[in-house]
Chains A and B, each alone.
Chain A
Amino acid sequence: MADHLLEVDELQVSFVTEDGVVRAVDGVTFNLDRGEVVAIVGESGSGKSVTAMTLMGLTRGPNARFGGSARLDGTELVTATEDQLQKIRGEEIAMIFQDPISSLSPVHRIGDQIVEQIRTHEKVSKAAALDRAVQLMERVGIPRAAERAKAYPHEFSGGMRQRAMIAMALSLSPSVLIADEPTTALDVTIQAQILEEVRQLSRESDSGVIFVTHDLGVVADIADRVVVMYSGRVVEQGTLSEIFYDPQHPYTWGLLGSVTRMDREPPHRLPAIPGTPPSLVNAPSGCHFRPRCPHKFDKCGEVPPLESHLPDAADHLDRCWLDVAEKRKRREVEDGRIGLGTGTVAA
């Protein structure tokens, strides 16, 4: 088991607030290997960003409580000291955020910001660091990099800023790159460019990429494996094709059903998942998806374990009490589209 680059095991993060304890992450388990892109998919409030930030030690605070473990090459991240984390951030794990304008300093030149990161971790001269910064900027597709390194973030467009963020994240050749919705704020044409960039980087370098997103189209485009989160828990994980062609959790069905497909005749009504995600303070007992699930039955009052149910895919895990054969019968399959189904199939 210890041969994975990153092993996250039953990770739990909760925050004590005035309204009660928010269980933001409540049992997240997944592995990441070198050269692999793992997508974490979920709606807002599913805990996908908190998971990503916890790996970087960014969720620590007086009101935060942690459980479980996350090991990077054997180093425990959850209990690591600040000094250890300082070294890990940037060098071992780097992060690209959703909003590049608020993650770059507005009063420092782009090149200088990359240089600062390099010089914090390595003893190199300013000139050498700047050379490297320019090379990195060229590598991620910023034209006239030497000149643009002297520019401030506000002089960059959204797409270029995101490229600058990627250049910065790559500056110390980290083994894990976490991209937290890096394309959500961008136009589709720019998104396509950035995805192309990330894909290329994961192919060229030997690092693992954790790609956090809510967009299943982007997942289909970039991921090798997919982790589906709902209300703080991993509800299902598997390879890209397993998740898209043989999904085992009703939430995944609903998610797949509600995305629009450009290559298909649109349905008369968009299939939606009824209801809204539960509050993380007062999450329902048992399966969190139970209140919205048309297939629920009495067993769902207990929390289903994250287990393998598919005999021929031991790495495909899901949290659902339904029998595999029953699930294949119930989910709605039509013209390449898997939907939530209505639960009317006789049990």
Chain B
Amino acid sequence: MGPKTRSCVPHGVELCAGASRHRVRPWRLSLVTGAVLQAISPAAGAADSAESVASRSPASLARLSIEELSEIEISSVSKRPERLADAAASVYVITREDIRRCGATTLPEVLRLAPNLQVARSSSNGYAISARGFNDDNANKLLVMIDGRTVYTPLHSGVFWDVQDVFIGDIERIEVVSGPGGTLWGANAVNGVINVITLSAKDTVGTLAAAIAGSQERGLAARHGVALGDDGAVRVYAKSFRFDHHKRANGTDINDAWNREQAGFRADWGKASNWTLQGDIYQGDAQALSRPQRNTSGANLIARWSREYEDKSGLQFQAYFDTYKRRQEGFFTEDLDTIDIDAQHHFQLGSAHEIVWGGGMREQRDKTSAAASFAFSPAESKLTLANLFAQDTWTIQPRTKLTLGLKLEDNSYTGLEYQPNVRIAWKPDGQALLWAAVSRAVRTPSRLDRGLLVFAPPGAPSLLGGPDFKSERLTAYELGYRGQPRSDLSYSVSTFVHVYDRLRSVEPNGSGNFVLGNGVRARTEGIEAWGGYQVHEGWRVNAGLLLQHQSFSFAPDSQATGTASGNSNDPKHQFTLRSSWSLPRDMSLDLALRSVAALPSPAVPGYTTLDAQLAWPIRKNLELSFSGFNLLGRHAEFGAAPARAEYERSFALRLLWAL
């Protein structure tokens, strides 16, 4: 579905990440055209006063600050009037300013900015990314979308992070929801949603070029945008980069270097109706440990239309096509084509109800081939997914909103699944929000769950997909509080209890082999907390904390033996601390400290590391930055010793040039 309508976070409002007030000078603004709104946007209080003022006399508008003025909805027909300040969910928004100041050049590295995500690098080109546990190379309980295009693979419901990329400088924001995505999001939003939203082409007129050279990576990227008349614009971009090998603990190369090239475009036009057409094309090749070289390529095209009407209703249609090839000759190949269409309609019912409903259909055809060790059966498949959803946000009284939603999803394997959720939000005042939610989510079977074939040497047992593998189920209970007690301080605390059943297990099938079954149950309890404090005008500090406890057991009817784990390898806690200084002469210094506890199996020691970036405008429109990563020494993040990669101190120089 389209990122705009599904977004629970409006443009420019950003409470969780706090309203940072870095001094941003014109030269820098040109580099982050249109972005700065997030960096200085008013938080809940301002948004609230802006709302209430909208109904008052025009003269009273004069008493608002200029930021507040920029937040007033002039016709109150916003598609999803829900603001982050009002969202009854654990949502963190990564802003453009955050991204610019962190020095990250890839999407997974940018995601480290979200305190409610677990990001672990498993090799130069591999990442394990999840929310609320169940992290794995193939972490399968997350919905990841890039401008409305779903990017998890039906092969194993995980994301191949080596093929997901955007022009980093054109990201408008990334919304990260931890916990079930509720009714409005697409399929697979079990433990969380990552929604990457790029800027409208109307906001990227001009040229931006970036070059990076470092001890681990080198890359070039450029974007050029032009206006098309008064109400339209188009941009094109291209990027290319190379990452070097990493080393094992014993100092040998792990053979994981990779190259990648990507190009794309986006056009936005229209005044009454908004049209978007965008697409990307990419290719990459990666060394893959001891396996054959992996070649990836793909392309996608998205068309979106949306319109708002006078009666506070709105419509959106979106269709996309996505194709990719993943080739490791002699080991495994996958070709996947996806066609997806979605529609969404929202309207007011009386004065107290806001209804959103819609539906979508997706068809995915894939072709796999495999060699000695494993295969998928059947080798080719056609999967369909259809959903219908409806949600009512009921304003019971001015301070209290109740949201009831239901999604029906029909998939090729298990037929109809239903996913309801109930959320309640109470705003004791304009600066705080208390919310609670109960929701049910399912992870429908992937190709792997049903059709995996792991060949064994003669005499040894094989592992097979379970022909009766059912959807994994989650019931989630959440309670959260967000507040901004002062204009310079904001924070969010969410607690959750996730109860899972029918998680994947390996069951003996009676004939000496093993099949995938649904024999594991789990319970995760945790706390996610983050906040931001503006120490003074030029110094902001952000902190994030994640605590979680997991317990696993086998269902009574499970025949599985050993330790129940449910394909997860999670730390009990992680902590991040970021400091952003604005220095004299428009320089800026950013430090990011990250501490992640040990992973149980395969065991990875806990680590603490520090990244730093010093940015310096050497001329108008030309910024030079110097970044240091893993400054506290080498560490591993994921995978089994001694084969896994370790990440050592690395440095990079980056030049950003805006025309």
User: Does B bind A?
Assistant: no
Seen from chain B, the residues whose Cβ lies within 8 Å of a Cβ on chain A are none
Seen from chain A, the residues whose Cβ lies within 8 Å of a Cβ on chain B are none
